Structure 1
Amino acid sequence: MWALFARATLIVKLVMVMLVAASVWCWAVIIDKFVQYRRARREARIFDESFWSGEPLDGLFDQIGTNPSGQSQKIFVAGMLEWRRSHRQDGGLIAGAQARIDRSMDVAIAKEAGELQRGLPVLATVGSTAPFVGLFGTVWGIMNAFIEIAEAQNTNLAVVAPGISEALLATGLGLLAAIPAVIFYNKLSGDADRIIAGYEAFADEFATILSRQLDS
């Protein structure tokens, strides 16, 4: 592999280096997302147990504080902060409290969704462009191989094969970068959607609880 790289032209070498760097970048994103999603699922499970344990919501809010670390906690805190701000000094509620609480939690969910999906466009971009970048390197390498054949005026396989093999290495690297990127992009996108759907379901349930308190 190193010999093929060393014999390649400068353009093909640059293409190969770009593809290897893109592959490393993709694997870094993949590993980071697996760790992040596992942490998010664990945090959501622990928070759900606390939320549905029967503890008063005000007590849970005071326990978490205004600067939570978990994603589910941030959504809960956003709703509780708006709930408390919607109370007047005389104990009454400011009109439109329910809509403001819903918007506050929607904003929190949008922020967490953006964090969960950060890096996924890298996988999509590499998955869609890496084969074409590798194909460009192959075309360029084959073009130079034919030029060398024409200059040598020799079509012997020993003369043709090295240049062709160098060129095809670029396509191989392009596929090596693109295939995992596409597979894990689809997998991680589905995981992110399921986590976000869980946040939205929790926000709806929490809004329903607050709505009952508002009506009473």
Structure 2
Amino acid sequence: MGGEIVRALRGVDLAIRRNEYVAIMGPSGSGKSTLMNLIGCLDTPNEGEYWLNGMLVSTMTDDALARVRNKEIGFVFQTFNLLPRASALQNVELPLVYAGISADERKKRATEALERVQLGQRMHHRPNELSGGQRQRVAIARALVNRPSILLADEPTGNLDSQTSEEIMRVFEELATQGQTVVMVTHEPDIAVHAKRIIVLRDGVISSDETRAQYAAKISGERVH
């Protein structure tokens, strides 16, 4: 910022194992968005290394990072980011178009992904014909269709009411049970507690890294006080 160097993250040392379900928490300015962008290969670090699935991605070119994002990372956004004039099936097929997959295989894999999130019966509906929770399920299916190493969710319940948020959390829990690695960024403790591991960032450093039980006991105690 001008002549001042802002260190969004300060020597963060973090390992996320295959098949883990992790929530990253933190207030605004804590560095969680920067960390999410690094995990998602949207940014590269100025210092240090980032290894993803055995690959040193922190030194890759932009083209190589784009290929990694398409193959290894499935993104779920707060605002769904669906194409309004395309059906649920067509929205889910889109990453496979960029990956050069044939039309028949695209349809097969997109149908399977929609069925995984219990939306097979709505695959020919457009986003404006779906509820907010159904739209987020389409977005989750789209993130899963390339069979990514990581499902990266950025405030996935931010635009949903509390009941629908619980439904979406059940979808993530089911995917985690099936062996999908899930990394979720949220500022809501009630959402974070659905993950099996909760990492809290403050001022660019990890202030705590706890199991669900440890985190739940801590926030329960804070509410009592």
TM class by shorter chain equals under 0.3
Greater Cα radius of gyration, structure 1 or 2: 1
Structure with a larger share of its residues in helix = 1
With structure 2 as the length reference, what TM-score do the two structures score?
0.20
Task: Please identify which structure carries the higher strand content.
Answer: 2
Normalised to the residue count of structure 1, the TM-score between the two structures is 0.20
